[in-house]
Every structure is written in C-alpha cells, then in structure tokens.
Amino acid sequence: MKSMLILSTLAGSILSSGSIHAADALDDMYFGIKLGKAYYDNGEPANFSDAWNSIALFGYEVTKSFAVEVEASTSSVRGDLSWVATDNYAKSTQGINWNLDMAGVYGVYRTSGDLYAKARAGLVYSEVSANVTTPFPVGGSEANLVAGFGGGWQVSDLLTLEAGYTFLNSDTSILAGGLNISY
C-alpha cells in the first residue's frame, strides 16, 4: 500500500511537471492569417496585374527576439495577364490569369516593445502559374533563399498586427498584412 502511494505521488508529480512544460511551450506558439498582394514581373512583353494571396502561418518563439515561422500561401484572387503584339502574336486579354502558391520556413528577428520591427530570412518553394499557353514563358516553380522586413504592433499578450514585404526572387514579391494570435 505504501509503495502504491509513493508510485502514485511520483507519477502525479511527473505528469504535472510535464503538463507545466507543455503549457510553457504553448505560450511560445502563435498562429497568423494574412492577406497579401503578390507582384510578378518576368521582364517579358507581358502585363501582370497583381494577385491577392491568403496566407496562413505558424510560429514558435525561441526567445523574445527570435522565432521560427512556417508559412503557406495561395492566390485567393488571381492576377490578370495580357501582352502586347510582338512578331506574329496578337494582343490577348481574354480570360487569362495567374496565381502564386508558396510554402516556406523562416528565421525571424524581432525588436522588443509593443511597436516592433521584424526581419526574416528563409527557404521558400514558390510556384507561379497561368491558365493559358503564351508565346513566352509564364511562371515556373523554384526553391529560393528569401528575405523580408516589416513591423508590427502587439495589441495584447494574445494579439499582434503585422505588415511586411518579402522578396521571393527577381520576378516575384509579396506585400502582406494580418494578425497573429498567441496560444
């Protein structure tokens, strides 16, 4: 009986310390949603209007200044594509559009304070595609090292508002804003 009491006390203390550590880890996590304006220019005789992307992110604060973020995005409003006549190709604007899908992992530095600056760098897989065959290359997919900057406002312990700009490659970038919710 005494050994059962000791075992149950020991098990209870181990389980409760595990749940405390799990709760501490949850305090360092956050989830975000953003809306972003995606820019694409491949230098060809094409005119790309901007697409609008929906973005979801998951973050983990390693320290108060450094976090790791995983982000995924897809175009919720596709951009339009048109081109001017060159050689034997006529101008076309009918029903042609493009989109940007991307997924990446970032290291993020953040300054302290309720109003803060943010810099991030990471590895992102992005894919630009169009719903038509054109006389010149449109889109493609690639993985790139990327960089971005931005800022935010910590409204409360649970809510932050952020905006930022990310350079994906020489053709593509995204300007986004949204909110993060801490667990």
Q: Give the separation between CA 163 and CA 176, rounded to whole angstroms.
A: 6
In a domain, 45, yes or no: yes
In a domain, 13, yes or no: no
| 81 closest CA partner among 125, 136, 144, 118 | 136
- The C-alpha torsion from 130 through 136 and 141 to 147, rounded to 10°, is -100
- How confident is the model at residue 128, as a pLDDT? 81
Burial 114-126 (b: 16+ CB within 10 A, else e): eebebbbebebeb
pLDDT one-digit tens code per residue, 97-140: 778 899 999 999 999 999 999 999 999 998 887 776 555 556 67
In a domain, 19, yes or no: no
| 97 closest CA partner among 158, 138, 140 | 138
In a domain, 60, yes or no: yes
pLDDT one-digit tens code per residue, 147-163: 999 999 999 999 999 99
For residue 118, the enclosing domain spans 29-182
In a domain, 76, yes or no: yes
In a domain, 18, yes or no: no
In a domain, 11, yes or no: no
What confidence tier does 48 reach under pLDDT thresholds 50, 70, 90? confident
* Count of the separate structural domains present in the chain: 1
Enter the pTM of the model: 0.74
Which positions ≥6 away from 8 have C-beta within 8 Å?
none
Quickly count helices (H) and strands (E) in the chain.
Answer: 1, 10
pLDDT one-digit tens code per residue, 53-88: 999 999 999 999 999 999 999 988 887 766 655 555
In a domain, 84, yes or no: yes
> Domain with 121 in it: what CATH number?
2.40.160.20
- How confident is the model at residue 20, as a pLDDT? 43
What confidence tier does 10 reach under pLDDT thresholds 50, 70, 90? very low
